[in-house]
Amino acid sequence: MAVDPQKPRKILVVHGVQMGANEDLCQDAMIRDLIKSRIGDIPLNFECDLFKYENIEDDALKKYNQLISLLVKNPIGSAVGKAVLDIVGDVVLSLQDGSCANKIRSGLKKKILETYDAGNPCYIVAHSLGSIYALDVLNNLIGQGGLFDRSSRKTWPIQGLLTIGSPIGLGMFRKGRASVSPLGPGEKWFRWLNIWDPNDPVVSGEIFGNYLVGNRIAEKYVSADTNHGWVIRDIVTDTGKTWLMAHTAYWQTAVVGDKLVDMVTA
Amino acid sequence: MRNFATCAIFFLTVSLTGCINSLYQAETAALDTAGNERNFILYWTNTEPWIGTSKAGPAVLLTECSSARPAFVNTDDGIIFFGLMGYDQLPDQSGLNSGRLLCGKIENYTHLREIRAGSISVTMRCKPTADDFSVGNKTYLAPRPEPYVLKVLEKERQWSFLGKSLAAPLAPECRSNGR
């Protein structure tokens, strides 16, 4: 199998922590609109798709939801409890690294390899917790061998990774992810752009969205090893919003669209 | 008591989210890296929260007839466009190395949030590379020894309770695909 650069580019979106169910998710449409709003007269043939895993997490949290229904009789309290469980539970499931997290990673890997088998150049846009899963799968694909030959991008199931609002700088997610899989010898470079707002509390871990000083999160993964093969950039970005609003503003931020256009056309 | 709590929550939320959003833009006409006369737009936003530190950037360079969108980011060493190894190239660099490619710099400021009006001095050193995967022209401002001087305009400024992602300018319209 090989990627055909003439085929439409596939932009696979991986969502982050969510409330609701798979049916409620539309981040692929948001990325499609964002690219269209920034592409101008560039003749780019592309498709957007979304890897949804909210139902896998909801299934794993079902028993806790039932417990809340039993314990909290007040409808408002029950709704609030379930919403909090939906959000916090997603993070806990990821950190536990159990069967649920493995199921999500397997599903994402399958989706990427299906795109690879179809020959479409694939680019990942991963938001928030989705960036952790995307990075895990990417490292796994590089590590398994037979793919990601550095002398030919046509052997790459993923051509570039763009993460937005990623918590990868936080200790709890960094644990067990101290490095990225090296690609080996060759002349091609795999791109990882990490876009984040300095007031995004999910990126900084600051609950009130205090300004995060410094410019390096993903760039801590840069290696001087010539066989590393990753070119990694942090792009600290003003989304125009602060605090929790900043975490959900990337989908409408022109810089995200422009950097995506830049990546997908190269 | 309930009114007081409502007011307190409102003011706490607004103090965390309220801000002034601005959009800045600088334009020029010059040669691109393929040697064609082109129009260029550099834009960035600035957000001043009611409480806390202002933030701005990055500044994105839009080039007529090009899909390249280099970004000048705030760093400890100034406002720099770092090229990507394998995708940008210094004129005197034939191979690849593990260092960063310092491809451009806004010379007369140290952070984008400082720039409100006047002129910026931009140096460019790199050229983009192309391969089978390139779509459209990959060009940007041509490298040259002397800096480009661009006049900065504040295109928009507004305050809001929840902040706003301002609409950025589009790349200049492509007049001809050139050579």
Domains (range + CATH), chain A = 9-53+106-264 (3.40.50.1820)
- In sequence order, the β-bridge partners of residue B158 are B21
* Chain A 15-34, residues with CB within 8 Å of chain B CB atoms: none
Provide, rounded to the nearest whole percent, the portion of chain A with pLDDT above 70: 85
> Does the pLDDT of residue A246 top 50, yes or no?
yes
Q: Is residue B8 part of a domain?
A: no
Q: Is residue B166 part of a domain?
A: no
Full domain range(s) for residue B140: 20-160
Q: Is residue B133 part of a domain?
A: yes
Q: Is residue B148 part of a domain?
A: yes
The whole-angstrom separation of Cα A143 and Cα A157 is: 13
* Chain B 52-71, residues with CB within 8 Å of chain A CB atoms: 52-53, 55-58, 60, 62, 65, 67-71
Mean pLDDT of A63-88: 64
Picking from A16-20, A186-190, A243-247, B40-44, which range would have the lowest pLDDT averaged per residue?
Answer: A16-20
B170 and A121 in contact by Cβ < 8 A? no
Q: Of B14 and A51, which is predicted with more confidence?
A: A51
The whole-angstrom separation of Cα A226 and Cα A60 is: 42
> Does the pLDDT of residue A50 top 80, yes or no?
yes
> Does the pLDDT of residue B138 top 80, yes or no?
yes
* Chain B 94-123, residues with CB within 8 Å of chain A CB atoms: 96, 98
B169 contacts B45 by C-beta, under 8 angstroms: no
A258 contacts A217 by C-beta, under 8 angstroms: no
Number of domains in chain B: 1
Picking from A80-84, A206-210, B114-118, which range would have the lowest pLDDT averaged per residue?
Answer: A80-84
pLDDT of residue A71: 66
Backbone angles phi, psi at A241, to 5 degrees: -130, 165
- In sequence order, the β-bridge partners of residue B42 are B26, B61
Residue B131's pLDDT band, with cuts at 50, 70 and 90, is very high
Encoding tokens for residue A128?
């928030």
pLDDT of residue A77: 67
> Does the pLDDT of residue B98 top 50, yes or no?
no
Q: Is residue B120 part of a domain?
A: yes
B58 and A198 in contact by Cβ < 8 A? no
Q: Is residue B5 part of a domain?
A: no
Nearest to B136 among A224, A233, A265 (CB): A265
> Does the pLDDT of residue A84 top 70, yes or no?
no
Q: Is residue B176 part of a domain?
A: no
DSSP string of A198-230? TT-HHHH--TT------S-SGGGG----TT--E
ipTM here: 0.92
> Does the pLDDT of residue A251 top 80, yes or no?
yes
- CA dihedral angle for residue A149, residue A151, residue A155, residue A161, rounded to 10 degrees: 80
Q: Is residue B15 part of a domain?
A: no
The whole-angstrom separation of Cα A142 and Cα A157 is: 9
A100 touching chain B per CB within 8 A: no
Mean pLDDT of B105-133: 95
- A6, A253, A255, A264: which to substitute to probe chain B, counting the most B Cβ within 10 Å? A255
Residues of A in contact with B46 (CB under 8 A): 238
